[in-house]
A and B are shown apart, each in its own frame.
Chain A
Amino acid sequence: MKKLFVLLVCATIVLSACTGPAPTQKVEATTASVEEPSPAPVSLRFSAWGNTDQLAAIANIVTAFREKYPNIEISEEYDPYDGYWEKKTTQIAGSTLPDVFAIASDYVCDYSSAGLLSNLNDTFAAGTPTADYLTGLPQQALANLNVDGVQVGYPFAGGALLLYYNKDMLDKAGLEYPNPDWTLQDVLTAAAKLSVDTNQDGELEQWGYMPNYLTIEDFDAIMHRFGARWFSEDGKTALSNSPEAVKAIQFLQDIIWTNKVSPRPQDIEGVDCPFCAGFVAMYEDGTWFMSDARDITDFAWDVTSIPLGFEGQQAGGPLLGNPNFVVFSKTQHLEESKLLAAFMASPEGQAILGEARGRMPVQTVGLTAWGSTPPDNIGVIADILATQPTIRESLCVKHFVEFTDLQYRTLEGEILTNNTPAAQLMPGFTQEIQKILDTP
């Protein structure tokens, strides 16, 4: 009997130690402007997505935040890439979104018009703690998250499109390395010498150049290099039927099937990373590819900005942020949430992000740690961010995801397989795009 009693007591102690924290108290904001959080304990839910390395970096930033504000308790909810959509969808439907969460630029517009994001305009007011955190953020990055005069989020990670090149392959062919002045013509000339049939079986095993087919912004960049656009400035009209656009799409088909400097779909099917495997000498991809490229041990590589169009047309370089942090409009703790979200974009938070050398920070402070070698030419990124316009044409395009879905299907089914030449393809394609834009 005594044993049982002791056991029960122990069990009770253990159980009570295992129970969660005390329920939170609601913090009342008594004035309209941002004020210091009250010392009473507050509990926030915070979520972000990423792989293990990216989440570790964010967790470090959260830890730093906790040290500054010990009264704010943060419940971290980290989502993997897989199933991210299902999770967000159920959270939106059930109105259980976290107080502060990460969002991709593509969705900012839709979330904002559905009233899910808090207005952050007052966080820039001088004298507020958040204003200190937000100094130094590039204007363009902030503007991307401003919908009709309302700031709905803070940038967190940025990026740019780069041209990665395999130094060993170029050395072997006796070619110069690409530089920011190169046009597509320079690339094609070099690529012709780099596309080789190594085992004489009538098919190529190496190719000189490959654009990126998975990044929508690279698709944008192709168009811009021919002076074409997908949409009008206001995002309401599809402009992809212009002669320039046809030339751009034809270029994509020519490099594979006429010039034969780019791999056909079957040549690289199932290959995770053709560049890493040494199949492609020059390859366009974003700054996020850097951490994977750093795993390459078989050859030396470097980066430069993506080539200009045939007549020197600029494509743009910087990409829209991914992710960005926003505050749920129905949060119970608005001021604390704003603090946390702003801290993620602050010089201190961004410096921690840069040290992880995974996602690219937006603040220059973070770029220093992030941007150390390899590769040698990493300085080119700062130039791109400083001098070139953002690639993405407009932020608030209706049904953007439907548009990119159509884009990708057409790319896969018609363009890359050369099933339909560009001149025949673009009119119908443009009509479909316009239909999407016209849907309410």
Chain B
Amino acid sequence: MNMINTSLSIKPNFSRSAQRKLLKQFVFIFILIVISLVFLVPLYWMVITALKTPGDILRYPPSLWPNPVTFDNFPRAFDALPFDRFYFNSFVIVIISTIGTVLSSSLIGYGFARYRVPGSNILFGVLLATLALPDEIFTIPIFLLFKQLGWLNTILPLVVPAYFGNAFYIFLFRQYMRGIPRELTDAAVIDGANSLGVFWYVIVPLSLPVFATVTVFNVLAKWNDFFTPLIYLQKIDQMTVAVGLSYFKGQQMVTDWGALMAASLVSLIPVLIIFVIAQRYLVEGIATTGLKG
């Protein structure tokens, strides 16, 4: 599929091929808009549920517009629980662990990407094997480990492991970095860079899209992480937003949907902000200036 070269479009061009390209754009954008509407439905759903009264929510089939509209769910949700603490705790955990994850996983991923030495294949295989182990079974063994270390009731179990790499992200970094032309790293070596220098000055700038991607993924995963904070933290003041939201759920069936949706909507905001900021880096493509011929 043809990549349109933006530098040529400064002057309006009414040639036939330019018109066809423009039409192609319109068609694509139209398709995307239609698809977007479908994907906006869940968000719409959340919003109207957050604006419905409990009686309205019990109605079935659900009404497509609140009847009546109420904003009560928001103060109700935030009065019920210490969300200010939840947000603070979540921010701390997410920031500390994301820094660790991105740093360690990128370094390790680069190691796997760049070097073919005895043992690297086996170790990579082991790495992938760790992805195959279901988390549920490790709940108790790892809990006991952290208990031995005396880390219960702290955020250490939630953030320290991040500094030792994450198999999924390591794999992602490796795949991406393997696609970087060797000439670029060789050129840096000729210029006198050591391996860390190559990593920092050549690889990282060329890998901004994957760095941004991993950051977004990790922020989302940590923000929504429910079980780990639940198990390692004791007092309600230490809990995160993800755990806090679950207090609105009832046993088995009827849940305080209004408050849950209201609180969930607000908790979406930080994640969305991170995503919007990361967009800039997702846009930048690989620099082509270093590539000769």
Contact = CB atoms under 8 A, between A and B. Distances in A.
B252 A214 contact: yes
B144 A83 contact: no
Interface stretch (A218-226, A236-244, A270-278): A270-278
Contact of A82 (B58, B152, B226): B226
A271 B235 CA distance: 34
Interface stretch (B94-102, B125-133, B182-190, B243-251): B243-251
A94 interface: yes
Contacts of A288: 251
Greatest chain A CB density within 10 A among B80, B230, B249, B256 is at: B230
A412 interface: no
B212 to A, nearest CB: 31
Given A89-B139, A276-B58, A277-B58, A94 B248 contact: no
Contacts of B236: 76-78
A79 B251 CA distance: 12
B119 interface: no
A297 B54 CA distance: 9
B144 to A, nearest CB: 6
A75 B234 contact: yes
A83 B253 contact: no
B231 to A, nearest CB: 5
Given A83-B226, A87-B231, A277-B58, A94 B249 contact: no
Contact of A80 (B58, B234, B247, B252): B247
Contact of B248 (A45, A52, A79, A298): A52
B28 interface: no
A277 B60 contact: yes
Interface in B220-261: 226-227, 230-231, 234-236, 243, 246-256, 259
B248 A271 contact: no
B82 to A, nearest CB: 11
Interface string A270-293: 011110110100000000100010
Interface in B241-286: 243, 246-256, 259
**A: contact size bracket:** 35 or more
A22 to B, nearest CB: 16
Contacts, number: 99
A201 interface: no
A234 interface: no
A78 B256 CA distance: 18
Interface in B69-83: 80-81
A256 B152 CA distance: 51
B234 A272 contact: no
Interface of B: prevailing SS: loop
B140 interface: yes
Contacts of B118: none
A82 B144 contact: no
B250 A81 contact: yes
A292 B58 CA distance: 9
Contact of B246 (A75, A83, A93, A273): A83
Contact of B234 (A45, A83, A271): A45
B230 A96 contact: no
B292 interface: no
B293 interface: no
Contacts of B42: none
B61 to A, nearest CB: 8
Contact of A52 (B54, B58, B247): B247
B147 interface: yes
A271 B246 contact: no
A93 B144 CA distance: 8
Going nearest first, the 7 A-B pairs with the smallest beta carbon separation are A297-B55, A277-B60, A276-B58, A295-B54, A80-B246, A52-B80, A82-B246
24 contacts: A45-B234, A51-B249, A51-B250, A51-B251, A51-B255, A55-B247, A77-B235, A81-B249, A83-B230, A86-B227, A87-B230, A87-B231, A90-B140, A90-B143, A93-B140, A93-B144, A94-B147, A96-B152, A214-B252, A273-B253, A276-B254, A279-B60, A297-B53, A298-B59
Given A51-B247, A296-B55, 17 more contacts: A51-B256, A53-B80, A55-B247, A56-B80, A77-B236, A81-B249, A81-B250, A82-B226, A83-B226, A83-B231, A90-B143, A93-B143, A276-B59, A279-B60, A292-B58, A297-B55, A298-B59
Interface of B: 53-55, 58-60, 80-81, 139-140, 143-144, 147, 152, 226-227, 230-231, 234-236, 243, 246-256, 259
